[in-house]
C-alpha cells in the first residue's frame, strides 16, 4: 500500500525507551524518534532534562500511516501503556520529565484527541492528568537513546514485556486488508 498521507503525533508516556519500543511494535507506525518536548530551553541534553529544570517531557515522535493505524487507535493504545491519573510519575520513574502528554501538530487532531480522552476519563473516578497541547518544540535526544531497547534488549523499561506482545498483535479495526 502506498500513501502520501503520513501523519505525526508526539506522545509522552514516562520513560521514552519503553514508550518508543511499544509504539514501534504497532502495525502502521512507520518510524519513531525519542526526544524532549514542550519545555522552555533550547536543544537540551538528557543530563539537563534529567534535572527537571528544563520543563521538557521525555516524548516519542510517532510517524504513522493513518490508512493502517488511525490516530484514535494509536491514542487508545497509548492509554493502555500509561497510568493517566499519575502526575509526573510512570512506574518507578518520577519527575516532571516523566509526565504524560499528547502533543499535536495538526489542529484537526484535537477533536479525536478530546474524544479519546473523554472516553478514557469515564473509566476513572479521579481526573486524568495527561496534557493535551499543541507541540511547542521537540528536540531529538542523543543517539544512544534512539531505539534503546533494540540496542539493549535487557535494558531498563517501566513497561511490562506482555505489553509489547499486545502491541504487536493489535490491529486497528478500521484497517481494510
Active site residues: 15
Coil, helix or strand for 35?
strand
For residue 48, give the H/E element and its range.
helix 46-49
Query: All 3 cell numbers of residue 5?
Result: 498521507
- Cα atoms found within 13 Å of the Cα of residue 95, Cβ hemisphere only: 14
Q: If you ran DSSP here, which 8-state letter would residue 148 be given?
A: H
Separation between Cα atoms, residue 25 and residue 142, nearest integer Å = 22
Separation between Cα atoms, residue 76 and residue 117, nearest integer Å = 9
Helix and strand numbers, DSSP H then E, in the chain: 6, 8
Amino acid at each position: 500500500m502506498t500513501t502520501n498521507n503520513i501523519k505525526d503525533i508526539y506522545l509522552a508516556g514516562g520513560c521514552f525507551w519503553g514508550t518508543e519500543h511499544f509504539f514501534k511494535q504497532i502495525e502502521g507506525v512507520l518510524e519513531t524518534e525519542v526526544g524532549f518536548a514542550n519545555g522552555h530551553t533550547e536543544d537540551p541534553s538528557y543530563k539537563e532534562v534529567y534535572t527537571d529544570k528544563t520543563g521538557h517531557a521525555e516524548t516519542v515522535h510517532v510517524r504513522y500511516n493513518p490508512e493502517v493505524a488511525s490516530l484514535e487507535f494509536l491514542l487508545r493504545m497509548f492509554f493502555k501503556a500509561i497510568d493517566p491519573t499519575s502526575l509526573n510519575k510512570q512506574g518507578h520513574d518520577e519527575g516532571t520529565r516523566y509526565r504524560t502528554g499528547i502533543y499535536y501538530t495538526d489542529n484537526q487532531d484535537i477533536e479525536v484527541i478530546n474524544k479519546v480522552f473523554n472516553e478514557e476519563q469515564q473509566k476513572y473516578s479521579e481526573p486524568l492528568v495527561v496534557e493535551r497541547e499543541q507541540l511547542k518544540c521537540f528536540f531529538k535526544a542523543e543517539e544512544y537513546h534512539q531505539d534503546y531497547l533494540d540496542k539493549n534488549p535487557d535494558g531498563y523499561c517501566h513497561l511490562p514485556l506482555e505489553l509489547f506482545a499486545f502491541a504487536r498483535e493489535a490491529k486497528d479495526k478500521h484497517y481494510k486488508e
